[in-house]
Chains A and B, each alone.
Chain A
Amino acid sequence: MTRLAVGVVGAGWMATDYHVPAFSSHPRTRVVAFAERDDARRATVEDDLSLPGCDDVTSMLAAHDLDVVSICTPPSTHESIFVESVGAGCHVLCEKPLALSAESARRMAAAADDAGVVTQVGYLHRYYRNYQRAMKMLSNDLLGEIVEVTVAHHSAPPSQGWYYNPDLSGGGVARDLFPHSLDVLFELFDEPPDVTDADVRYLRDRAVEDAARVSLAFGDVPVDLSATWTQTEGVSRVLVVGTEGWLELDSKTLQGDVHGRPFEFQQGSLPLVDVGVADLFPASDEDAHTERIHDFADHAAAGDLDTSAPVRRGVAVAEVIDAVYERGADSSSERDGADPPTERDGVGSPSEPSGADAEGGR
């Protein structure tokens, strides 16, 4: 069986540490080339990975007969790379956030629909075993009816400069961190949410917000999300309260209670030993980044458009984040006259990689 030819766009750590190894280890895909705008970085990666580098996606598509394009560049470049790739008939895995705005995301979705190719946005959280276990519990109504959901996602401030330039990033922490949780919430609830409240704050002197909150209503279930760039070690935690129990999870620990019966899992696993006063969990080989790329590769190889998060999911996510900025601009200008995000410092290079890190999408 022939393997699909993959071209990776952007040669930052997300590409070299995850996309290239994952597509190389999947039985149905192989990486044939990458594209990187920065000459020095391109030369380094050509040497390190023994792969031919091109200076952009156009020349990569011209030089190689590609089946799949994997996009690991900053958000401002996603739309044009995505549209060009699907136009060339390639299946596309695109890192989050999908686009700078819902309008841009809708153009991408329309292009993918026309091309009939397999697409996936690179949301990470759903691939953690704890999240998959929690989704099983919730989709089987194990907690009764869901009463409310609270999500807190606080990460380290990103090191790459483009994150702080709204023209390149599409916003700050809301655009960066909300997508992972919104993807899970969209999976959990069938209907799209109403945005009932939102605000953004500028804790440091940056051009983009580094604290954001949004209140959503999925039907009559209130959901609160908050995210900041404040921590040294990040935390991303979800608390779900139901009529018959609760659960709380991050990527490491999932615990909860149903009708007074407690449960706990670490990285999706039961303990090896649990003597009540102490327990011991097995060592885990979990690698959610590789899981999501392999899942996309499975779908691309099968021509199955129904991936975990097709480009339409990215549109729905972007619509919520756009609404956060619209409401956030209103509320912050009422409060202290702060401006919505505009370009102030323009640091950073668009050739740097976007995206999530190894633990919880930063």
Chain B
Amino acid sequence: MRVLVTGATGFIGLNLLAALDETDHEPVAMVRPASTTARLPADIDRVEADLSDADSVTAALADVDSVVHLAAAVYDTASMGATNTAGTERIVDAAADAGIDRFVFLSTVGAHPEVPADADSTYQQSKVASEELLFGRNHPFEVAAVYPTYIFGPRDYRLTRYEHVRPVAANRVLVPPLYTDAKYNIVHVDDVVGTVVRCLDGDATGRQLVTGPNLTNEQVLKAIARHAPGNCRVVTVPYGAIRWGVKPAMDLLYRIGVSPVPGEGFLERGDFGTVRPELTERAPVDQRPWKAAIGETVEWYETVGIL
């Protein structure tokens, strides 16, 4: 089965291409003319197209049986409307005309109907906007959408998880304000691409959550410290101590010109994909441990020389 993969040069895309190599599916990488293609496997079929150009998308869909639509603007807020919402509509319409069998869409956990979306996240809202398009209409093909939480794994060429790993690797002792409070729900990228493959096989359809356990800052930072170079010791500090100790201290350092920023930012409490307890550890595949996801991310960073 020939599968058109959009976003093939991205984090999930490169991992999916590696996973498809073990299956009967024949991927065709859809790449924009300006994309870096050096990282694609050498023997992979590629077709140049751009989601903003309907004709190019139609041409790319000729002669494929399925589509995995991964391409999205994840960091560039200004292009999220055009790429993630309008671009998805364009490829869904073209896929209907092309007569494909299956359409697999990579969404995000916050766009799942059972998970409250973050109204301030343009990215989440751009994915929510595709819900009606995918599930509110009839299509001449099967639709599946995958809703992962916070993904770790190899081939993170954008270094999207480096901000969590470097402070651990670059300090022998990690203590606030070197980290701020946060909670996580972490999944292995293999679970995400495994779910996509199950959808392509017809073994899973409709909405598919891919969630891990909800994790504390301490669990995540200590797991990173176990794998990262440098033998970092993570010191856990209760939020109250950050509130009443670190923030005033940073405010003082800011006033005397040592810190470039005041203490307010250190009160942030990040939420990287947590879900309510009954939605944790869901996936239509045998899940890989979240610690392996962190370990393999760190190992990959070392392989490419960034750690």
Contacts and interface: CB of A to CB of B under 8 A. Distances in A.
Contact of B158 (A133, A258, A272, A276): A258
Nearest to A135: B305
Contacts of A244: 36, 157-158
A140 interface: yes
Contacts of B75: 259
B59 interface: no
A283 interface: no
A273 B173 CA distance: 8
A1 interface: no
A90 to B, nearest CB: 36
A140 B172 contact: no
B258 A277 contact: yes
B166 interface: yes
A136 B170 CA distance: 19
Given A141-B157, A144-B36, A272-B172, A261 B304 contact: no
Interface string B145-174: 000000000000111101100110111100
A275 B173 CA distance: 11
* Interface class of chain B by DSSP: loop
B286 to A, nearest CB: 29
A276 B159 CA distance: 18
A263 B36 contact: no
Contacts, number: 68
A58 interface: no
B158 A259 contact: yes
A48 interface: no
A137 B307 CA distance: 10
B299 to A, nearest CB: 13
Contacts of B305: 133-137, 140, 142
Interface residues of B, number: 27
A243 interface: yes
Nearest to A258: B159
A140 B299 CA distance: 14
Contacts of B306: 137, 142, 258, 263
A263 B166 contact: yes
A126 to B, nearest CB: 14
B277 interface: no
B229 interface: yes
Nearest to B172: A272
A141 B36 CA distance: 9
A137 to B, nearest CB: 4
B42 interface: no
A145 B38 contact: yes
Contacts of B259: 277
A131 B188 CA distance: 32
Contacts of A263: 162, 166, 306
Interface of A: 133-137, 140-142, 144-145, 243-244, 258-259, 261, 263, 270-277, 279
